Structure 1
């Protein structure tokens, strides 16, 4: 009897030794998001998978995974930046867990390495190992109410995106009733006499008509000295709203920016459609507060595409921007400037349509 007990003890010690030695052997961990791109506040899932592909069970397993502080766990699961879960895993078992989450801020978020701790068969000792993992999600910028923008100088009334689009008087698509906003030269007198009310010619946008948005995220010189993150976020949101407006109007648009991680160099080409819009919005979601060159260099560069309108969006008009912005009227039929304050606004050429944030 004593011999069998001794054999069982030895066998248990040996199995426990093997469980420690092979704790992380054929143990796999992965994590992913249920969506790649989401809006602010949109619900998505974080899915973690642990898989034990060996004949030994893992009686104690602890996973510690860090999460961005901007993540808000739904259903009361607030992990304060790190989530820890404990479990036991049987031989050849695959455990999948998911959590519903939303994100409160625009940006690119990455989940990286996890810390996994395993215990031996009898719970006497623990071993820890880091597992490499990678999951990425992009949170798009929120929309901005363009009604918050106030026209400057001789321009009056609410902001009108349609006014930035150049109409071609050679493309007449019909006749419509006069609303009071059309110039007198558009009145069609024969139709006015026929209908006994003022009628005007209605024009459509030409296929050559397109817009370029130039987004600046530089708020001072040098850029890193005083970064105004709130102003940059508002400019990004304004850009998103304009993209949605141009898409709804079916007018081709493109985007350039001096953001460091604005890596899609083809977005300056005018385009339309859900795919083009999503690529631009995703790029806006990925932007951080670093720049790869001063903004004045961006707008000095001659674009190979002949855009009819350029819309400049900047948190502030620095002294270095004034001359390059004024020179834009030489290359575009219409130049629109949107800024968040009135710094240097009086130095901008009168031909440029200006909007600023405020009363």
Structure 2
């Protein structure tokens, strides 16, 4: 008879503690996760800070955390962390116990191996009693974002067609006429436009005179990146590493342009995650704020075309871009693209082509 009472009491204890854990194990359990910084450059090492707090009297014999991250966020070796990787995502599992009114803070070191926008979405919490009789779980939403900027490279590694390009741009900065500032009049020279004639000075001197305009310190450079790797229009990019290299070229050139006190703009026929299927055009601006804006824009770019580059350039021409240094980064130049380049040059623009070499770039990015 005693054995039956013993079994009954044991069963009752197990049932009660199971009910208690089902009811209260996840109550007063707080969890947070965040990046140590909201932005970084490709290749940087940052931290993910994780905090778990058990703010109640009931101990937790075991707590299982499950979450998912992009494979571009490479976690360094750490105990009590099981990682299973797929092609694009990796699943994480951690299990530990929490005593009453205790808090655990974990720091995960990660290397950001690719440019992009990464979010902390959800985490699954599962816990139960020590005997495994009952368990309960819930999914918590997270609010965290990391923007990984393209990594700048040394300026002399950008394959500009002429090593004197930088000097030429600096010179052109100081030889543009300022249409709003007139410094007297001068004698007409061949090539002067008729709308620049100063009729009062002409009548006074008896010789054809034109407005003598001061030089402007404002000069604009617009970097265009062609997301098409060949003339066939494809929505999917066959070699994303080539586009990533192009963006590294672009941000390197932009950094140099800003350092020279000039205005920088950016355009490409990809699209941003904030505006799907819309080509990107950032108006030229000066100062480090402009460079920060380009970093944010490039971090959110999706490696896919919004439209063919020939149509994209036709749209640029319709917007009447003039008197601008255009740096075109492209893996090819078709006959139609060449016609668009000539049209841009005819309207006072200077077009410099930076050629991409996909086969060579694959090994460069891997290293």
Query: Are the aligned partners of 2:63 and 2:96 in contact in 1 as well (CA < 8 Å)?
Result: yes
Q: Which of 280-289 and 244-253 deviates more? A: 280-289
1:334 counterpart residue number: 350
**Residue 216 (str. 1) matches residue 226 (str. 2):** yes
If the length of structure 2 is used for normalisation, what is the TM-score?
0.71
Gaps of 5+ in 1: 172-203, 343-359
Q: Which of residues 45, 69, 72 is equivalent to 2:71?
A: 69
Equivalence for 2:174: 168
Alignment counterpart, residue 270 of structure 2, candidates 259, 267, 273: 259
Determine the C-alpha separation between the residues in 2 that align with 1:262 and 1:322. 30
Distance 1:58 1:234 in 2: 49
Contact 1:147–1:159 at 8 Å: present in 2 too?
no
Describe how 1:153-192 pairs up with structure 2 within 5 A. Answer: 158-165=163-170, 166-169=172-175
| 3-state SS, counterpart of residue 219 of structure 1 | coil
- Counterpart CA distance in 1 for 2:30 and 2:302 is 33
Matches of 1:159 and 1:262, distance apart in 2: 37
Tell me what 1:278 maps to. Answer: 292
Matches within 5 A, 1:129-140: 129-140=138-149
**Contact between 1:227 and 1:289, CA under 8 Å: does it hold in 2?**
no
What are the within-5 Å matches in structure 2 for residues 141-160 of structure 1? 141-148=150-157, 158-160=163-165
Aligned residue in 1 for 2:217: 207
**1:15 aligned onto 2:24:** no
Residue in 1 that maps onto 2:119: 110
Matched positions, count: 305
CA pair 269-207 structure 1, distance change in 2 beyond 3 A: farther
Does the CA contact (< 8 Å) of 1:211 and 1:307 recur in 2? Answer: no
Deviation of the 1:56 alpha carbon = 2.8
Aligned to 1:31: 33
CA contact (8 A) 2:274 2:300 kept: no
Q: 1:20 to 1:69 in 2, by over 3 A?
A: same
> Following TM superposition, by how much is the alpha carbon of 1:205 offset from its aligned partner in structure 2, in angstroms?
7.8
- Indicate the residue corresponding to 1:45 in structure 2: 47
Structure 2 stretches lacking a partner, 5+ long:
85-89, 178-213, 359-367
8 Å CA contact 1:39, 1:140 repeated in 2: yes
From 287, 300, 306, the counterpart of 2:314: 300
Pair 1:60-2:62 in alignment: yes
Measure, in 2, the Cα distance between the counterparts of 1:45 and 1:339: 37
Q: Cα deviation per residue 1:140-191 (whole Å; 9 max; x = unaligned)?
A: 2122445455566xxxx525223134243489xxxxxxxxxxxxxxxxxxxx
RMSD: 3.4
Is the 1:214–1:299 Cα contact (8 Å) retained in structure 2?
A: no
Q: Can you list the C-alpha shifts for 1:173-213, whole angstroms capped at 9, x where unaligned?
A: xxxxxxxxxxxxxxxxxxxxxxxxxxxxxxx9833321111
